[in-house]
Amino acid sequence: MNDQLQKFARDMLKVGLAKLPEDHKLIFKKMYSPKNLEADINDVVDTMPAERLDWAMQQVERSIEIQEGGSRGG
């Protein structure tokens, strides 16, 4: 993945994670920074391997869809 795409993916992850509650962020940290759960979520995104960005984006997107669906009652 080229640098421009990596930056876009990391920026989108940060935006998406900001929409999620703390328990979701903790799960994300457990997956991508298990040895440092106290790390800032943005630092976790900045230091995660590029090959994991695509899957992380899918996870965050699904979590947001579930949250939004739950808030609409459906």
Q: How many CA atoms lie less than 13 Å away from 5 in the CB half-sphere? A: 8
Instruction: Please state the pTM of the whole predicted model.
Output: 0.88
In whole angstroms, give the CA distance from residue 61 to residue 69: 12
pLDDT over 80 at 70, yes or no? no
Nearest Cα to 28, choosing from 8, 53, 51, 6?
53
In whole angstroms, give the CA distance from residue 74 to residue 70: 6
**What pLDDT digit, counting tens, does each position of 12-39 carry?**
999 999 999 999 999 999 999 999 999 9
